[in-house]
Amino acid sequence: MKASEIRELLKITQQPEIISFGGGMPSPDSFPVKIIDKISRNVLKKHGPQSLQYSPTEGLKELREEIIKRVGKMGIKCNLDNIIITSGSQQALDLTAKIFLNPNDYVFLELPTYLGAIVAFNAYQPNYIPIHMDDEGMLTNELEEKLKGLNRSKTDFVYTVPTFQNPSGVTMPLERRKHLLEIAEEQDLFILEDDAYSDLRYSGKSIKSIKSMDKNNRVMYIHTFSKTLSPGFRLGYVIGDEERVRKMTIAKQGADLCTNTFVQYIAYEYLKSGSIDKQVVKIIKMYKRKRDIMLKSLEKYFPKGCEWTKPDGGMFIWATLPSNIDTRELFDDAIKEKVAFVNGSAFRVDGKGHNTMRLNFTNTDDKRIEVGIKRLGRLINKKMK
Ligand SMILES: Cc1ncc(COP(=O)(O)O)c(C=O)c1O
């Protein structure tokens, strides 16, 4: 096990004088404090002691029913036995790895990918097969090639964040999603679809989730309330076939018995009242503005030779600098200038990508976004010379 570089980094970047594009946190201004205040008091009145009691390991029935309605609108058909509520989607990643991975089993994942997933999977000692990405996500042709001739186990899986990926911001178009599913069918693989960000779309048209096209239970779909409601609630869920969900439930019993009951009741009332939809509209407006400020600032201050993604949603922009710049070294200089980011190699299982960086745009005041990018641009310019 290795400490997550990001968590360590957050300790530095949480100093208030530092403009941090480092973490992946929502804006504190986005949290619906007043509504949650009202709902939590109502939960205590309405559900009383039951809301403070242990609850079923697979999650509150009422909340799962609300989730079924919500995902149904996205074309995902499921019933109560297909859902397990988890303590954040991070737990879903851990539980999946726990029940499926034996040492040396293969996990196919994007290069780069969500660092928290790497940290969760590492504990179970898989054999990673990294797959490169382009502007349209994982190169499924490369996946197909790499699968050839492997002596595989039945529980190997592909981990993908197909929409507004953390860390790159890139989205996989429909055709590639279909190709991925085809490969899974042909190769008897299963797909772990981590859909943390699809609610946060600022431009372009929404794309069907892989799960919504999954006819033969090849996909375990993971979602979280962290990006829209509150990461402090630690609430996520998995939708998958009954058998795998049952196994996850057994694994969760050993991990924490159940997800926080009180918080589940709050989330249930929050979904039922429709407040979540208003909340998403509010956040989209706020984050779209922040994304646009960051993109404009990059255009203005980053020197020629730098490139970056232009995400239609999510929380991150991924920048690639000229190859003679090492973003690890740049990080130390940036901290002296009171600005932070995460170096891109942290998100790659092959440790490459020395000239890349992840920039988060959701957790910085609008004005400070431009100031921070200007400082970084100046530093990069200096290094290039
Ligand atoms: C792609 C992805 N998956 C999962 C998570 C874990 O989120 P949580 O445990 O808060 O649901 C994150 C958090 O940043 C993420 O970016």
Model confidence pLDDT, tens digit, residues 168-186:
999 999 999 999 999 999 9
pLDDT at site 369:
98
List the one residue out of 237, 227, 285 whose CA is nearest residue 259.
237
Mean local confidence (pLDDT), 91-116: 96
Q: Which of 25, 85, 89, 193 to mutate to test the pocket of ligand 1 (most atoms within 8 A of CB)?
A: 89
| pLDDT tens sequence across 321-333 | 999 999 999 998 9
pLDDT at site 15:
82
Q: What is the spatial distance between Cα 95 and Cα 15, in angstroms, rounded to a whole number?
A: 33
Going through the chain in order, the beta strands assigned E by DSSP cover 19-20, 83-86, 106-111, 127-134, 137-138, 157-160, 190-194, 219-224, 236-239, 307-308, 316-320, 339-340, 342-343, 356-360
Q: Residue for token digits 């372009």?
A: 204
pLDDT at site 7:
63
CA of 183 to the centre of ligand 1 (A): 26
| pLDDT tens sequence across 276-315 | 999 999 999 999 999 999 999 999 999 999 999 999 999 9
pLDDT at site 181:
98
CA of 126 to the centre of ligand 1 (A): 20
Q: Which of 7, 85, 90 to mutate to test the pocket of ligand 1 (most atoms within 8 A of CB)?
A: 90
Which residues approach ligand 1 with their CB closer than 6 A? 24, 88-90, 114, 116, 161, 166, 194, 196, 224, 226, 231, 236
CA of 4 to the centre of ligand 1 (A): 13
Q: Residue for token digits 């429909």?
A: 174
CA of 179 to the centre of ligand 1 (A): 25
| pLDDT tens sequence across 19-56 | 999 988 999 999 999 999 999 999 999 999 999 999 99
Q: Which atom of ligand 1 is nearest to the CA of 226?
A: 10
pLDDT tier at 316 (50, 70, 90 boundaries)?
very high
Q: Which atom of ligand 1 is nearest to the CA of 93?
A: 4
Q: What is the spatial distance between Cα 241 and Cα 238, in angstroms, rounded to a whole number?
A: 10
Rg (CA), the chain: 21
CA of 382 to the centre of ligand 1 (A): 35
> By percentage, how much of the chain surpasses pLDDT 90?
92
> By percentage, how much of the chain surpasses pLDDT 70?
97
Q: Which atom of ligand 1 is nearest to the CA of 90?
A: 9
CA of 227 to the centre of ligand 1 (A): 8
pLDDT at site 385:
83
pLDDT at site 4:
59
pLDDT at site 313:
98
Mean local confidence (pLDDT), 359-373: 97
Mean local confidence (pLDDT), 240-260: 97
CA of 44 to the centre of ligand 1 (A): 29
Going by alpha carbons, the residue nearest to atom 16 of ligand 1 is 166
Mean local confidence (pLDDT), 221-228: 97
Q: Are 252 and 86 in contact (CB under 8 A)?
A: yes
pLDDT at site 8:
62
Q: What is the residue-averaged pLDDT of the chain?
A: 95
Q: How many CB atoms lie within 10 A of CB 307?
A: 12
Q: Residue for token digits 């203005």?
A: 300
Q: Which atom of ligand 1 is nearest to the CA of 315?
A: 16
